[in-house]
Amino acid sequence: MFLWRATEIIISATGNKNVQFKPEYLKVALDNLMDRFQVKYFLHTTMIDAKRNGQNITSVTCFDDEGCFTVKAKVFVDATGDANLCHLAGARTVWGNEDGQVMAATLPFRLAGVDTSQDMSPAAVERAVKAGKEAGIPNLTRERGFIQKMTGSKEVMVLLPSVIPTGISAEDLTDMEKFTRGQALHYIEAFRWFMPGMEHCELTMIGPSIGFRETRRMVGRYTLSAEDVLTRRTFEDGIGRGGFKPEIHLGLKEAATYLDVPHGSYYDIPLGCLQSADTENLYGAGRLISADHQAMAASRVMGTCFVTGHGAGVAAAIQAKTGKADVPAIRAELEQQGAMI
């Protein structure tokens, strides 16, 4: 038996099915996975430029502590969350909804020394935050939000300090992280005073960087729509399935709103959502895939990011080998590798 195998399923206050993982163990698990499939990968590397020739990317320039180096490939996959490769390569991208607004970004933090047998529901959070506000504690932006109990410990993860991003430059990120870090300390003050079970809590960690739900997305050959998600549409070029409902965080004050999908249903993710509209050898994976604002509020979750990563990886490998995105071959290979399509 492995002590670190902690994938207990919890039904949260919102009705979501939470599969908790332990990030510190996950780092090693992912290293092992990469080794098993003999993948050569570089950490501590930043891609800073991309060169294109007509409809194709020819190379990317990367930077590490020893300087710059170039990586050439036949096909590229952008899995940067923020569509950074699309941006650097001049491929079409889009920001947010039709009004140019993206969902709130949140900086999670962790507290130890919490009596987790007490009520930690969004309603209990709201009571404590409102009491804190009445007592004059500043910068308590979001009143309703999630506190996640961490299985097997007295720790909780708090998802409250939030901001609506308007850009992702270094200046924007610095401002947003400074602002939300400051909020974290004020939430802790409110909790110590007004949240039963948190009287003796201690801050153990503020997230290493702000968590974006939505920023820049790739414009693909097909854009997944909210209707596709809500009507559980299937596609002939489906490369995987999404099963989560749209979870939308547009306002700063309240927690998420949901668009409901029938229990036990799924929608297909077509290959076209992973293919850049204007760059022949560029695929997207993760939260940046081509989807409208509400559809991406469903496809942005981690399980679906794994699915699109798998789909984009297999499609890119087949295109690199054969020169084309052969849909039957891509689907056959995915199926052979155990994907549900």
Ligand X SMILES: Cc1cc2nc3c(=O)[nH]c(=O)nc-3n(C[C@H](O)[C@H](O)[C@H](O)COP(=O)(O)OP(=O)(O)OC[C@H]3O[C@@H](n4cnc5c(N)ncnc54)[C@H](O)[C@@H]3O)c2cc1C
Contacting residues toward ligand X, per CB under 6 A:
45-47, 79-81, 84, 106, 108, 159, 211-213, 286-287, 300-303, 305
Alpha helices in the chain, H assignment, sequence order: 23-36, 84-89, 122-134, 170-194, 226-230, 293-299, 302-322, 327-336
Minimum separation from the CB atom of position 199 to ligand X (A):
26
In order of 84, 241, 305, the CA distances from 311 in angstroms are 19, 10, 10
Which of 301, 230, 225, 303 is closest to 270 using CA atoms?
225
Minimum separation from the CB atom of position 318 to ligand X (A):
21
Minimum separation from the CB atom of position 83 to ligand X (A):
9
Residue 203 near residue 188, CB atoms below 8 Å: yes
Contacts of 186 (CB under 8 A, 6+ apart): 132, 137, 138, 139, 140
Minimum separation from the CB atom of position 246 to ligand X (A):
13
Classify each residue of 158-178 as buried b or exposed e, where b means 16 or more C-beta atoms within 10 Å of its C-beta.
bbbbbbbbeebeeeebeebbe
Q: Residue 203: helix, strand or coil by DSSP?
A: strand
In order of 93, 163, 179, the CA distances from 172 in angstroms are 19, 11, 11
Residue whose CB is less far from ligand X, 45 or 231: 45
Contacts of 52 (CB under 8 A, 6+ apart): 58, 89, 90, 279
Residue whose CB is less far from ligand X, 186 or 300: 300
Minimum separation from the CB atom of position 47 to ligand X (A):
4
Rounded distance between C-alpha atoms, residue 290 and residue 300, angstroms: 11
Minimum separation from the CB atom of position 225 to ligand X (A):
19
Which residue is nearest to ligand X, using beta carbons? 286
Minimum separation from the CB atom of position 134 to ligand X (A):
27
Minimum separation from the CB atom of position 189 to ligand X (A):
21
Residue whose CB is less far from ligand X, 13 or 47: 47
Residue whose CB is less far from ligand X, 197 or 286: 286
Residue whose CB is less far from ligand X, 308 or 319: 308
Residue 308 near residue 238, CB atoms below 8 Å: no
Residue whose CB is less far from ligand X, 49 or 227: 49
The strand pairing partners of 112, in sequence order, are: 202
Residue whose CB is less far from ligand X, 281 or 308: 308
Residue whose CB is less far from ligand X, 18 or 56: 18
Structure token pair of residue 129: 């935050």
